[in-house]
């Protein structure tokens, strides 16, 4: 009887572990799709913790429904310290770009594209743009937010940071991401006729046309 109880307990423990692992995989896959991750911390320093690389496999069920083999996407998690107004405007810019024909159908993907586009500027251009911007009034009320973006976009960001360092400027990962978002917000506003739509409090996981 005791042996049977131990075996039953061991089986339940393994099942719980499997469910927890599945839940984590599902959260990661949703993040690749663009769902905003829950903030890891409220301190700015938390936004500059090293990112981690992982290959997020698509669920077989989702792949079957689309009629193709499961995908594996190399992604990384990046932390960004965002003021409330900055996060609000970034969401609005993402929606504006979508309305104007943009292909990024998740916020994380749009963020990744913003990083890659910003990296294509010269270090001199990035420095001039950063120095010309006024700090946001609510900057001290920000939160460290975590996003999962494609590894290729992270590599572009790191290359841009390395170029800035060679030019004598030393932005943190979070600061560089904020600058990239500011640039993306400004461009989206211009493309949308000088204004941005009001975003919902929580964005849809994925936009569809």
pLDDT of 47-64, one tens digit each? 555 445 554 555 556 656
Q: What is the pLDDT of residue 61?
A: 63
Residue 205: pLDDT band with limits 50, 70, 90: very high
Q: Kindly state the percentage of the chain with pLDDT values over 70.
A: 65
Q: How far apart are CA 179 and CA 164, in angstroms?
A: 13
Q: Average model confidence (pLDDT) for the chain?
A: 80
pTM for this predicted structure? 0.70
Stronger pLDDT, 111 or 63, i.e. the higher one: 111
Can you give the pLDDT at residue 75?
87
Does 181 have pLDDT greater than 50? yes
Does pLDDT of 39 surpass 90? no
pLDDT tens, residue by residue, 119-155: 999 999 999 999 999 888 988 888 999 999 999 999 9
Sequence ranges of the domains in the chain:
2-191
DSSP the chain: -HHHHHHHHHHHHHHHHHHHHHHHHHHHHHHHHTPPPPPSBSSGGGGGSPP-EEEEEPPHHHHHHHTSPPPEEEEEEEEEEE-HHHHHHHHHHHHHHHHTT----SHHHHHHHHHHHHHTS-HHHHHHHHHHSPPPTTGGG-EEEEEEEEHHHHHHHHHHHHHHHHTT----HHHHHHHHHHHHHHHHHHHTTS--PPPPSS--SS---
**Residue 104 pLDDT > 80:** yes
As a whole number, mean pLDDT of residues 149-173 equals 97
């Amino acid at each position: 009887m005791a042996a049977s109880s131990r075996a039953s307990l061991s089986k339940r423990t393994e099942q719980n572990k499997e469910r927890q692992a599945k839940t984590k995989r599902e959260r990661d896959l949703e993040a690749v799709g663009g769902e905003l991750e829950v903030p890891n911390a409220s301190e700015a320093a938390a936004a500059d913790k090293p990112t981690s690389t992982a290959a997020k496999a698509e669920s077989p069920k989702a792949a079957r429904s689309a009629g193709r083999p499961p995908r594996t996407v190399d992604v990384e998690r990046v932390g960004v310290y965002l003021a409330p107004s900055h996060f609000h405007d970034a969401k609005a810019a993402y929606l504006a770009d979508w309305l104007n024909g943009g292909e990024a159908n998740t916020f994380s993907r749009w963020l990744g594209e913003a990083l890659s586009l910003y990296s294509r500027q010269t270090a001199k251009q990035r420095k001039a743009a950063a120095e010309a911007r006024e700090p946001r009034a609510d900057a001290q009320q920000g939160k460290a937010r975590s996003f999962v973006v494609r590894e290729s976009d992270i590599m572009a960001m790191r290359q841009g940071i390395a170029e800035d360092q060679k030019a004598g400027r030393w932005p943190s990962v979070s600061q560089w991401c904020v600058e990239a978002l500011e640039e993306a917000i400004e461009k989206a506003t211009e493309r949308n006729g000088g204004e941005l739509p009001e975003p919902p409090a929580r964005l849809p996981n994925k936009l569809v046309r």
